[in-house]
Amino acid sequence: MEEAQRTPPTCPAITLAGAEPKEGVRGGQINRGQMNSQHKKYLPRLIAWEITRSCELNCIHCRAAARYGPYANELTSEEIFRTMDNIANFAHPIIILTGGDSMMRKDLFEIARYGTNLGIRMVMSPCGKLMTDESVGKMIESGIKRISISIDGATAESHDNFRRVSGAFADAINGIEAAKRNGLEFQINTTITKHNVAELEQILEFAVKAGAVAFNPFLLVPTGRGKELAEQEISPEEYEKVLNWVYEKRENLPLQFKPTCAPHYYRIFRQREKEKGRSVTPKTHGFDAMTKGCMGGQSFVFISHVGRVQICGFLDTECGDIRRSNYDFEHIWTTSPVFLQMRDQDSYHGRCGYCEYRKVCGGCRARAFAATGDYLDEEPYCIYQPELKPKKTKSEVI
Ligand code: SF4
Ligand code: SF4
């Protein structure tokens, strides 16, 4: 994903990836026999790491409600290095350095270099304001492979009005231009709301013309300052239309185009392929068949600026704490009760618990939580009525 957590970067689908992370462990550094099959099945493949919450902007929809800072108690470089060592010892993920604005972190390049030296693909999501030829040069030197920049309107006026930050569009363009001048890959992320849903086609055209390698529209999750934007959410029916539009547009584009944190896209994708008489397999559909909707706690994870571990940046439920676990991230990943719940789609509530698409979709746990306070509840922005029947409750069985 997708400027940092300010928009979507946190999500798995977020994919600030650019290259699929290798599943499994780093060669020779762990005894595979020690890992049980569940452990091997669920390895972190994408980690959004909020290395700072400080940000020069103050965007209205920021999930972190970030401000200039500084924030107390942020993980130190040493603590980050220690945790990265632990991660690299059992998995081989992509790490997204996010924020706030990750550029506000003074040791940004040391952190990136450390991860790179461990063999981790490092990417980041700056807001663009602080990017110069010099800083982009340092990003490249430290091994940053790709950045994501958020564009939330087809024009400066639209983007700045949405973010309620004058000059935010110019900052984003500054970041894109600096990346282009220096040959650094960039992708564009867009948070879809009522204000820009009619501009999506134009933003896609902009991304193509600008030379982005990917365009990831993101479905708003009304958390953080985004709560104030709840009335900006498009309706479930409109989501359905937008996701169908993505399906129709995605072919013959010179960039990767897929929605982020829109799990039911993968249901629509399969429905539409089925209508054409095609089943979705890795052989026929490659990456589209191998990826899925919400990957939070299954192959995606978020680490906050103070070391709190969550399934994603939008669901503020603690799954573990880096410091309290003595920097043993692997222990949190394999034992957190919340992560274990995320990996058992059959235990989800409402339609998502019995839907035939639950293994490839799963619904957005953060939107469920925002709607009902139960992160296992059904995705409130999906209109699909499963063909399967609801599971019987214990009392009904008895
Ligand atoms: S009901 Fe839930 S699992 Fe099924 S498609 Fe909708 S969001 Fe996905
Ligand atoms: S819970 Fe929602 S916002 Fe979080 S990773 Fe899953 S789909 Fe994305």
Is the C-beta atom of 315 inside 6 A of ligand 2? Answer: yes
Q: Which helix (H) or strand (E) holds 115?
A: helix 108-117
Structure token digits, residue 233:
């959410």
Q: Pick the residue whose CA is nearest to atom 6 on ligand 1.
A: 382
Residue of minimum CA distance from atom 6 in ligand 2: 294
Task: Kindly identify the ligand whose nearest atom is closest to the C-alpha of 380.
Answer: 1
Checking if the pLDDT of 7 tops 80, the result is no
Measured between alpha carbons, how far is 298 from 213 in angstroms, rounded to an integer?
Answer: 26
269, 292, 364, 379: which to mutate for ligand 1, most atoms within 8 A of CB? 379
C-alpha span between 146 and 137 (Å, rounded): 13
Query: CA angle, corner 178, sides to 196 and 117, nearest 5?
Result: 105
Characterize the bridge pairing of strands 320-321 and 308-310. Answer: antiparallel
Answer yes or no: is the C-beta of 153 below 6 A from any ligand 2 atom.
no
Residues 6+ apart with CB under 8 A from 304: 50, 53, 310, 313
Placement of tokens 């095609």 in the chain: 278
Confidence of residue 373 (pLDDT cuts 50, 70, 90): very high
**Is ligand 2 within 6 A of the CB of residue 63?**
no
Ligand 2 contacts CB of residue 226 (under 6 A): no
Q: Where are the domains of the chain?
A: 46-262
What is the rounded end-to-end Cα distance, in angstroms, of the chain? 46
Range of lowest pLDDT (23-27, 67-71, 150-154) = 23-27
- pLDDT of residue 310 exceeding 90, the answer is yes
Indicate the angle between helix axes 236-249 and 265-275, nearest 10 degrees: 60
**What is the pTM assigned to this prediction?**
0.88
Q: Output the CA 172–ligand 1 centroid distance in Å.
A: 34
**Atom 2 (ligand 2) nearest CA:** 364
Q: Write the residue with the smallest CA distance to atom 8 of ligand 2.
A: 261
In this predicted model, what pLDDT tens digit does every residue of 79-108 receive, in sequence order?
999 999 999 999 999 999 998 888 889 999
String of DSSP letters for 138-175: HHHHTTEEEEEEE--SSSHHHHHHHHT-TTHHHHHHHH
pLDDT tens-digit series, residues 205-260 = 999 999 999 999 998 887 765 566 778 889 999 999 999 999 999 988 999 999 99
pLDDT per residue as tens digits for the range 324-365: 999 999 999 999 999 999 999 999 999 999 999 999 999 999
Lowest mean pLDDT among 125-134, 170-179, 233-242: 125-134
**Sequence-separated (6 or more) residues with CB below 8 Å from residue 128:** 3, 149, 171, 172, 173, 174, 175, 176, 178
User: Is residue 238 classed exposed, middle or buried when 0-12, 13-18 and 19+ CB atoms within 10 A define those classes?
Assistant: middle
**Which of 192, 216, 258, 294, when mutated, tests ligand 2's pocket best, judged by the most ligand atoms within 8 Å of its CB?**
294
Listed in order, strand segments (DSSP E) in the chain are 46-50, 94-98, 121-124, 144-150, 185-192, 214-219, 256-257, 300-303, 308-310, 320-321
Instruction: Give me the pLDDT at residue 379, please.
Output: 95
From ligand 2's centre to the CA of 11, what distance in Å? 6
Instruction: For 260-282, give one letter per residue: b (16+ CB within 10 A) or e.
Output: bbbbbbbbbbbeebeeeeeebee
- Quote the ligand 1 centre to 38 CA distance (angstroms): 24
Q: In the numeric block, which tokens belong to residue 133?
A: 């030829």
Scan for tokens 């991860």, then name that residue: 115
Interacting residues of 165 by C-beta distance below 8 A, sequence separation 6+: 57, 58, 59, 60
Closest among 271, 244, 242, 266 to 361, alpha carbons compared: 266
- From the CA of 262, which ligand is nearest? 2
* Ligand number, closest to the Cα atom of 295: 2
> What's the CATH number for 46-262?
3.20.20.70
Lowest mean pLDDT across 64-73, 180-189, 224-233: 64-73
Instruction: Name which residue leads in pLDDT, 167 or 145.
Output: 145
Ligand of minimum distance to the alpha carbon of 7: 2
